[in-house]
Amino acid sequence: METREKCFVLIGALDAEIDEYLRHLQLAQVRQWKEFTFYEGFLSGKMVVVCKSGVGKVFAAMITQKLIDVYNPAAVIFTGVAGSISPEIEVGDIVVASDCIQHDLNASELGFSRGSVPYTDYRFLPTDARLRELALSAPCLHIVHEGRILTGDHFLTQSEMENHRYLREELEGDAVEMEGAAAGQVCTVNEIPYLLIRTISDKADEKAAHSFTEMLPQIAGNSFSIVSHVLKML
């Protein structure tokens, strides 16, 4: 993508989470880096790079940093699905993150608050205010919430929630997933604006695994209209 204009990076963890974006992408070029594919093109009048990161915090952090190094983007948008842990947020709803945190990072025995990166100021990672404002103002057929998204390398179900009451009570989370805060921390350190948008695929209950598998192909693209609106307005 040979141009001085900065692009926007769109990342999802799974194929289903980027399929809708690829269907609308005016493809210009495909680049390969190891097992990862970078789809360069135009979406909603903006230059974008779309990429599947793979599941989990390590992949999310690694591919976010790689994309920043290669493209120096104007912003990073991470999208996909998540599980709801809020009684007000239902399957099919969309959560635009006000901030995010790694719920499985816990050095409390050393005197650090849960989710704090030890010996740093990083804990709750705010998304970019302008990107968030645009996302929340987007016309959308689905119910959109602003909330806190919790990230951890653990697919949670209700059977485990009794041991994870801190997700709601201490961290005041609204949804859980496995990549967002890792990408968010990389963007924060690099001073790159980022936005995290998740569609709810399950309620993190005893039916979570079935709901996730069944709903993923149907609702992974629910946030497309929001991302498209954000790009148009920038």
Structurally, how many domains does the chain consist of?
1
212: helix, strand or coil: helix
pLDDT tens per residue across span 120-159 = 999 999 999 999 999 999 999 899 999 999 999 988 765 5
By the 8 A CB rule, do 8 and 193 touch? no
pTM of the full structure: 0.92
3 found inside a domain? no
pLDDT at 114 over 60: yes
234 found inside a domain? no
pLDDT tens per residue across span 189-230 = 999 999 999 999 877 655 655 566 676 667 767 899 999 999
1 found inside a domain? no
Identify each DSSP E strand in the chain by its residue range: 8-12, 26-33, 36-43, 46-52, 75-84, 94-102, 125-126, 144-151, 175-177, 194-202
d(CA 165, CA 215) in angstroms, rounded, equals: 25
Is 69 catalytic? The answer is: no
Catalytic residue among 17, 20, 40, 93: 17
Kindly state the tokens that stand for 31: 């680049």
Nearest to 150 by CA among 89, 206, 210: 89
Kindly state the tokens that stand for 129: 């205010």
Catalytic residue among 2, 35, 202, 205: 202
177 found inside a domain? yes
Q: What is the CATH number of the domain that holds 70?
A: 3.40.50.1580
Is 179 catalytic? The answer is: no
Domain span holding position 71: 8-229
As beta bridge partners, residue 196 has 78
